[in-house]
Amino acid sequence: MAIQKFEDIIVWQKSQDFSVAIYNEFKNNKDFSFNNQIKRASVSISNNIAEGFDRSSNPDFKRFLYFSLASNSEVRSMLYLAVRLNFIPELSAKKLINNSNEIARMIFGLIKSLK
């Protein structure tokens, strides 16, 4: 059975959970610019999956999945920086980076399934 709505896509669900985890991890950080950027990028992951799903073709959907993948990479890059800036503990970053890597693998799998 084909997926009927974006809410049923597992990687969309996981990326929503990932955004919540990012928001929670950085809620007390005082660097507004950094917080704003990492939170916006994390939200962009699931939003691009949703937007692409409702496009008219698989090539459009794939294009938005690549946007989602890029946003995911941006968040991961910022997590490494957050550790170097002492914004979050390394252990917290490692857990979030592992989640990010899982999401990336799932997005790649979804892209492959559309080829």
Per-residue pLDDT reduced to its tens digit, 26-60: 999 999 999 999 999 999 999 999 999 999 799 99
**Please, what is the Cα angle at 109 between 104 and 115, to 5 degrees?**
130
> What average pLDDT is seen over the chain?
96
Least confident piece of the model among 2-6, 62-66, 74-78, 95-99: 2-6
The answer as to whether 45 is a domain residue is yes
The CATH number that applies at residue 79 is 1.20.1440.60
The answer as to whether 75 is a domain residue is yes
The answer as to whether 52 is a domain residue is yes
CA 41 – CA 45 distance, rounded (Å): 7
The answer as to whether 3 is a domain residue is no
Burial of 56 (0-12, 13-18, 19+ CB in 10 A): exposed
The answer as to whether 2 is a domain residue is no
Number of domains in the chain: 1
- Report the share of the chain in percent with pLDDT over 90: 93
The answer as to whether 107 is a domain residue is yes
Q: 100 is in which domain, residue-wise?
A: 10-24+32-113
- Angle between helix 10-25 and 58-84 (nearest 10): 20
47 contacts: CB under 8 Å, gap ≥ 6: none
Over residues 97-104, the mean pLDDT reads 98
Burial of 28 (0-12, 13-18, 19+ CB in 10 A): exposed
The answer as to whether 62 is a domain residue is yes
The answer as to whether 4 is a domain residue is no
The pLDDT of residue 1 is 58
Question: How does residue 96 score in pLDDT terms, banded at 50, 70 and 90?
Answer: very high
